[in-house]
Amino acid sequence: MKVKIGVGIAVVLAIMVVLGTSQLRAQGVLTLEGLAERFNLLTADQEQLTARVAALEAAAASANWLAGIPIRAENRCTPYESDDYRYPQSLEAQIMAEMEGSFYSPYTGETFDWGEDVDIEHIVARSEAHDSGLCAADIFTRLAFASDPLNLTFASPEVNRDQKVAKDVAEWLPALNECWYVNRVVAVKRRYGLSMDAREAEAALAVLEACPSVAMEFVAAAEAESAAAEEVTPTPGSEAGQQSGPQVEGHPLELYDDNGNGRITCAEAERHGIAPVRSDHPAYQYMRDPDGDGVVCE
């Protein structure tokens, strides 16, 4: 009898593993070797089985940053009404908990003294979410989205109302914490089944694939300004105002910084046909080079 029960459990586990892997293989993120690894797990004890399967699931998910997000053009299928996306100011306390108890803006590194000086900022803007799928959602889903702490942070009125507004990641990126920001955009869109258009998806992947981490970094505004000044300092061997590499007509930010945030992304460089960008190119000093090899957007 014990043998029959043991065989039965093994069969059930095998069926569960096959069902779990079929979905991953359909998404193109699990190879035959990965499938074999899943079956080998049947010989491990239950605790090891649970831990190792979880690790495999995480690895499979990380293989595709945008898994589960539809790629399609924005569509305002119903009129946008801000009252459908209202939220309480009492959410400030929950946002502050993530910001180490302060009115800190991860976009700029500013810390504000009073709540009146800072805006509650929707990482995925409400109108952008409306055009990305919530136009077909019920009022309860819209209200839940508007009050979800996953989608909330702090920003100065200047950044929130004049710079970012309702732009997506192809149109605007923050001066600081762009990896955290884009990853959070993806998480919010996945939670609410929202879509990305092709340019937005391209820009998101260009950022995320170069990120050593998606954790938020707490950087003071003064430190950020100092780092930015160092980035634009002429390299040794070149005179100020002169470039030793390719010459371009006009300032690099005017030519390639499409979203006007003071930095140039790989998506923007590729859009203007200058990728890969090497250290002798005028645009390089306004870009991130995570591995420090002097070439970005390889």
What average pLDDT does the chain have?
78
What is the average per-residue pLDDT within 137-146? Answer: 97
Using CA atoms in the order 189, 195, 201, 203, what is the torsion angle rounded to 10 degrees?
Answer: -60
User: pTM value?
Assistant: 0.58
* More confident: 242 or 197: 197
- Location of structure tokens 């702090």: 154
pLDDT in tens, 18-51: 445 445 444 444 455 554 555 555 444 566 666 6
CA distances from 282 to 50, 106, 175, 243, 285 (A): 51, 28, 19, 7, 7
Q: At 296, is the secondary structure helix, strand, or coil?
A: strand
* DSSP-derived secondary structure for 73-114: -----S---GGGG---GGGHHHHHHHTTTSEE-TTT--EESS
* Backbone CA torsion sign across 81, 84, 88, 93: negative
